[in-house]
Structure 1
């Protein structure tokens, strides 16, 4: 879409096909090798599709502009794309003000053409028709998603994203200068400085080129459209506190790459007019801009590649290693990121744990305190494990015990020692050191070493105790962060905590 947009827009200015192609390739390569876009495009992520809908909308409306409002096919294709985009993710609506403005600027009398308006509405509704699947599928007990979307309230809860605003804390207006600096830093990570400067030129290129042809207002419409589309997404995304800003900024980043291509074309046209005698030398210099995205490819390929990424597969194997054949009847609670590889294993590899060993449950964020609610729902029916440490569970009064790659939820007062721990009896002031697990005994400098310790307090204490581990001449005094403080321990209960060591790179051999 970026390539096609640049070709469509620049083809309007003159017969220089070589420069138009060069600009289009620069836009395409800039997007392809921007680290954030590249990284999101090589794993299952919905936001790369969200940004693709934005680029599709920009492409179709740029075609509509280039035809001076005569290409109704492009307009109808835009309406279909816009409808589909809304069904995919509500983030796409933030481009709608820019879309509507360009349509009206290109053809101010369109509101009186009821046939065209009716066709536009029909195409948009055709895109929105994807939503009709929800009330059909919802009552069939789907694996994912609510089962109430066959009711009006349930359908509107999803379509209107009811309750979403409660999970979207935002930065205030007074903080926007700092947020702008954050965006500038993130943008600089995506594109080299020459491409960012080209993007600024690219924003003005439609206006400047049309002005050269005697119709500056015509080009200003497109420049205004690109600027408003960028600002619409930027203003919303940069104000969010809790969401994945790198995923939500994919759209603005793509627009910058598109504008960089237009900027190269504008720069080339200016050089052709300013230095016609040295145009061949200028062409060579313009071609060198392609090295910028290619340098991104060379620079980041090793870091972005998922060739050696195995965390998802490792987690699936950890589940089977821990629970397969145990007959424990446990429940393992997972968030979306940890549940996804398990679903993949189930539906793609046809490999799923026996429910007699463990039931895998996804904890959604749809309630006020979903993790505590899930623990209360399942703890009475057998052991409950979590994919990782959740401080809200401890705050609710439960204990979290590290069990291999997982944490087990236990009630206060449990005096049992997990069987995988090595039992010891060692006095430690008012506490007793009763067990440990050190699965990694052969290490090298720089390694990350997990250490599990178990303590007990024969009597309650008001003093604060923290363990200190000595490795050679190095001491590791641990903090109380993510650990239950000793004044909250009950008399006689066994507290199991994980303390992780990061060995220094200069650790002498044999330590």
Structure 2
């Protein structure tokens, strides 16, 4: 055989071998991925039921692999490539249901995108998506809607709507009218519930507009669905969608304006692509008008040419299409600005966008008329305010009928000091960092990345839309960052709309080239999976909040137990639900509820003056706010639920719901009875013991120290509350002990012991149950033992040389935490991959990690000041150091807590203080209050350590005058010397009662009343 023939024959054989090998690989790789993945998931789910586990796992895997090989063989790689992602979990070193669920969802979504949509008209697909959005989120929000009465502004909107009153500036007249209409519907049991229902409607409407806007930009179902799911399950949007609030309506007007401007942009682009002047109608607007495509005339893929004459009476003939959308946008902004002035800043961006898209509008003033009239029409709801000025409803004032009073109310001039509050460069820089935390508080990191990609694509492909969305978000965020808003997370709601529009656009330019289609489908699937996980992680918190009515319980109990003709002094948080119960439901009209507003004097002094004046006039006074310092000269109050009752007459009999005791505690206290707030308490929850007693000493008016403990069967104390109580001048004294069971407490029956000095006595027993929800952990695990499953672990190195390990277990009855000290990491045999037990896995030692549990499910996770102790020491006059405090929580919170951070310079003995400075702030510079947190929220409260050559000025002891209003700055004293030890400490306390949040680590509380942040030194 000639050499050239042998060469060609050999080449042909090699090619055939490579082809066979290729077909074998493209068959085996996806098939084995599916088989091994399915076998592993099945084994980890069911192998623990049967023995021996290894044999069971191999059997499951063999069966699934054979089935996968048979299923995949007839299909080419172009149809099976999504299965390759299953290798990710098949080779993953740890068992983890979340990981395999994510892989399965990614694969399923990629396959779903490969299924061709039915050959239906685009408008049918769009309408189908809108219907699906309305049904899905309408049902979701109804399932998680707040059941009734709410506190603070939310409660105000509920009773103002029921009465057709006037809300606090700027008045929100349109919202009040709409909410009042809702109260007339025969739905639900209370007006409060019906007002909550309005938020379900407005929030669902926002999502419908988002879906339609993304559809108009992309014509892709997956893109629209991803944007809607991302916004609809965002932390604050979901919260606002289920509670009475004005933010959802603000977002609605922003979304409506953005949709109209996108359509204006598309109409303008289409008119430029149609130089013949023939009418061009968007597909979504044809509504049955017959059309034909003229291949000779340029047109956008989103628009079609209409050659048929349009009757003169139609809207298309009266108003040019693009100008019609300007009218819609102007009406939306008119309504929006009349609703809340914050949309004014977005309106400026919108005007700039209109001029950029169509510069000819500047030279044609006639085109301004209709938008201006529409904007003025949107201001008509403001007439409600002067019309209600003379009515006898709450909030109404005769001043509203005057120009000065009307303008002051509508413009909110009383809050003008809050605008542009954070403008100092240092403070604004910290505040902008907080805005980033707000975004991570709302959305997962994957979604934020998708939004950035979408904005970049818009700026590349359609830069004018990128300008619209980017500036809308940027300007609104900057203004909000500089505004001293008590709940910045809610103010930001309109800014989330352009963000999710960018997210939806991320999937738009894909699929235009077949070579890039798998990568794009994977990107789209990743984003879609991320939004599903976001919704799934947020669901338990909102379901839990749906089942509780905290504001009604607080206010109704307070009214029910108030003495006749009592005066209740309330802060804003509790004043509004109390007013609602009185004025809407008619409860306890004999009781007076008065709001104590902040004034020129310190707030505590204002409260003390109000209480002293009313009590001196012979009235029983109940206060919802407490300050132990300013109340020192007042009579000792009696606890009334969570409030404080300043009685006129002493209590002479034991309350009817108390259990009698009749025992002495040492020589000073006679115990009369007790009341437990509930029969059982979960671990990490609070049990409230109210003790009735009388002093029996010779000096009955002197303060007495009393403590209460929950003692486990092992004799250890797992919850403790210490009080120094001034007894009532006469009669019976009631003292309230709040006992929070720390993680590590075993379930079972506990003894409640009350003590004073060296003596104590058993009062009753109390049942402790496992947690009903898993605790948050920084190291998620999923490994089963014989009777429990390990779900995670956390290390705490807060105390030097005293590491503590928290092991979080799931049992048949719930969730418990095991606490280990001194580095003990021994574990029982745990299941690993494929559900096979092994002793090989061990927890890793995370040096420098922090995990300090606090009351109400809050966890402090860093940072200590000792982290700054590097060489050379960083605390010097040449730089500013950042000391940020990080928190998370295991459940949604119902109370407002303040973070108190202190910087201390020590004497030479390292114990006594030479100087100190303090910053007390609602978390994240007031932007993310704790009562907005849900399970899994991660919050950062930034603080700056400022060491300058100028001597700091101090307002009071340990509290310096800050270099700028609102600056969370800890000042180093001018008496500090090189080499001096300085340390930090942090505590949290209730913003209303000043009650410290308990630290649930007995090692720390045995040494400090705060969380120690370690020490460093002053640089030379």
Same fold, TM exceeding 0.5?
yes
SS in 1 for 2:217: helix
The alignment yields a C-alpha RMSD, in angstroms, of 3.9
Aligned to 1:195: 447
2:468 to 217, 225, 228: 225
Measure the CA separation in 2 of the matches of 1:8 and 1:441: 55
8 Å CA contact 2:579–2:593 kept in 1: the answer is no
| Shift in alpha-carbon separation, 1:441–1:227, aligned structure 2, 3 A | closer
Shift of the alpha carbon at 1:2? 1.4
- In the TM superposition, what whole-angstrom CA distance separates every residue of 1:91-119 from its partner, at most 9, and x where no partner exists? 22232331222122223343443333333
| Shift in alpha-carbon separation, 1:351–1:121, aligned structure 2, 3 A | same
Shift of the alpha carbon at 1:243? 0.8
Measure the CA separation in 2 of the matches of 1:121 and 1:60: 15
SS in 2 for 1:468: strand
| Shift in alpha-carbon separation, 1:336–1:282, aligned structure 2, 3 A | same
1:493-504 correspondence to structure 2 within 5 Å: 497-504=735-742
| Shift in alpha-carbon separation, 1:130–1:459, aligned structure 2, 3 A | same
Aligned to 2:746: 506
SS in 2 for 1:295: helix
| Shift in alpha-carbon separation, 1:395–1:231, aligned structure 2, 3 A | farther
Give the TM-score normalised by the residue count of structure 1: 0.78
SS in 2 for 1:509: strand
Aligned to 2:491: 248
Give the stretch that moved more between structures: 254-263 or 60-69.
60-69
1:343-382 correspondence to structure 2 within 5 Å: 345=581, 351-356=585-590, 358-363=591-596, 371=607, 375=611, 378-379=614-615, 380=617, 382=619
SS in 1 for 2:215: helix
Task: Note if 1:138 corresponds to 2:389.
Answer: yes
Aligned to 2:407: 156
Shift of the alpha carbon at 1:452? 3.9
Q: Which runs of 5 or more residues in structure 2 are unaligned? A: 1-208, 270-320, 752-1020
Shift of the alpha carbon at 1:475? 7.8
Aligned to 1:30: 230
8 Å CA contact 1:436–1:451 kept in 2: the answer is no
2:341 to 64, 70, 90: 90
Q: Which has the higher contact order (CA 8 A, sep 6+)?
A: 1
- In the TM superposition, what whole-angstrom CA distance separates every residue of 1:10-64 from its partner, at most 9, and x where no partner exists? 4xxxxxx3xx332222211211111221121111122222222222222222222
Task: Note if 1:236 corresponds to 2:469.
Answer: no
1:43 to 221, 227, 243: 243
1:450-461 correspondence to structure 2 within 5 Å: 450-452=688-690
Give the stretch that moved more between structures: 501-510 or 43-52.
501-510
Structure with greater strand share of residues: 2
Aligned to 1:310: 549
| Shift in alpha-carbon separation, 1:471–1:3, aligned structure 2, 3 A | closer
1:329 to 562, 565, 584: 565
| Shift in alpha-carbon separation, 1:345–1:355, aligned structure 2, 3 A | closer
Task: Note if 1:438 corresponds to 2:675.
Answer: yes
Aligned to 2:536: 298
SS in 1 for 2:631: helix
Measure the CA separation in 1 of the matches of 2:248 and 2:599: 24
- In the TM superposition, what whole-angstrom CA distance separates every residue of 1:389-412 from its partner, at most 9, and x where no partner exists? 46686278565431234322458x
Equivalences, count: 474
SS in 2 for 1:153: helix
Aligned to 2:34: none
- In the TM superposition, what whole-angstrom CA distance separates every residue of 1:361-413 from its partner, at most 9, and x where no partner exists? 445568875756764675436222234546686278565431234322458xx
Larger radius of gyration: 2
Shift of the alpha carbon at 1:225? 2.1
Measure the CA separation in 2 of the matches of 1:391 and 1:162: 34
SS in 1 for 2:587: coil
Shift of the alpha carbon at 1:222? 2.2
SS in 2 for 1:139: coil
| Shift in alpha-carbon separation, 1:226–1:277, aligned structure 2, 3 A | closer
| Shift in alpha-carbon separation, 1:86–1:460, aligned structure 2, 3 A | farther
Shift of the alpha carbon at 1:464? 8.2
8 Å CA contact 1:459–1:492 kept in 2: the answer is no
Aligned to 2:217: 9
Measure the CA separation in 2 of the matches of 1:84 and 1:281: 43
Aligned to 1:215: none
Aligned to 1:213: none
- In the TM superposition, what whole-angstrom CA distance separates every residue of 1:173-227 from its partner, at most 9, and x where no partner exists? 2144444443333323432333212111211223322xxxxxxxxx323212222
Shift of the alpha carbon at 1:352? 2.0
Shift of the alpha carbon at 1:313? 3.4
Aligned to 2:435: 183
Shift of the alpha carbon at 1:477? 6.5
Measure the CA separation in 1 of the matches of 2:634 and 2:476: 42
8 Å CA contact 1:331–1:385 kept in 2: the answer is yes
Aligned to 1:265: 508
8 Å CA contact 1:198–1:264 kept in 2: the answer is no
Give the stretch that moved more between structures: 386-395 or 42-51.
386-395
Shift of the alpha carbon at 1:466? 4.2
SS in 1 for 2:739: strand
Measure the CA separation in 1 of the matches of 2:599 and 2:374: 32
Q: Which runs of 5 or more residues in structure 1 are unaligned? A: 11-16, 210-218
Task: Note if 1:286 corresponds to 2:524.
Answer: yes
| Shift in alpha-carbon separation, 1:285–1:47, aligned structure 2, 3 A | closer
| Shift in alpha-carbon separation, 1:293–1:65, aligned structure 2, 3 A | same
| Shift in alpha-carbon separation, 1:294–1:196, aligned structure 2, 3 A | same
| Shift in alpha-carbon separation, 1:277–1:167, aligned structure 2, 3 A | closer
Measure the CA separation in 2 of the matches of 1:390 and 1:53: 42
SS in 2 for 1:198: helix
SS in 2 for 1:38: helix
